[in-house]
Amino acid sequence: MRVIAGEFKGRQLKSVPTHKTRPTTDKVKEAVFHVIGPYFDGGTALDLFAGSGGLGIEALSRGIESCVFVDQQQKAIGTIYENLELLRLQNRVEVFKTDAMRALKAANKRELDFSLIFLDPPYKKFSYKELIEKILNYKLLQQEGTIICEHDASEHVPDEIGELKLVKTEQYGTNIAVSIYKEGEIV
């Protein structure tokens, strides 16, 4: 697992030493950022269900200014800290060991908002519709922000959630799909 592009291109990242976390493959990460970026001029990201932190770190490498990482597994949190230390990114991030719903509630209380939100929960364990509705209710997504959902390819995601539209879904291999939501028209 490595950083694909940007400031930290080619740098290796540690993966979480447990079977409970499924890292986003380099191929999928590269394809996702080709669609949503590929580079950014500032902005803030939320990497919910962060695992090793690979998606948020990739966003930071490509120009996102700051990122909040959330995971409830202690081994994942430890790996995120190790990866952030390797790249000396500690001053651009916050890391929280908590579940997703508590994290969203806390972000709401702090009046945070994000230009990019990565949702990569354990496959078939969470409703993307419920997660995104909570994000919208708490006003955590900036206007013209993007939500990226990695999910099992067999899982259906809605075409619309609130004011967000599904703008793209791509399948990678037999098991992985990525769906991207934004305000606006379906393409």
pLDDT at residue 126 in the model: 86
The full set of domain ranges for the chain reads 27-166
Q: Give the CATH fold of the 27-166 domain.
A: Rossmann fold (3.40.50)
pLDDT confidence tier of residue 184, bands split at 50, 70 and 90: low
How far is 18 from 13, CA to CA, in rounded Å? Answer: 15
- The model carries a pTM of 0.93
With residue 94 as reference, give the H or E element that holds it: strand 93-97
Mean pLDDT score, 56-83: 97
More confident residue, 98 or 125: 98
Mean pLDDT score, 100-104: 96
Tell me the torsion sign for CA atoms 9, 10, 13, 15.
Answer: positive
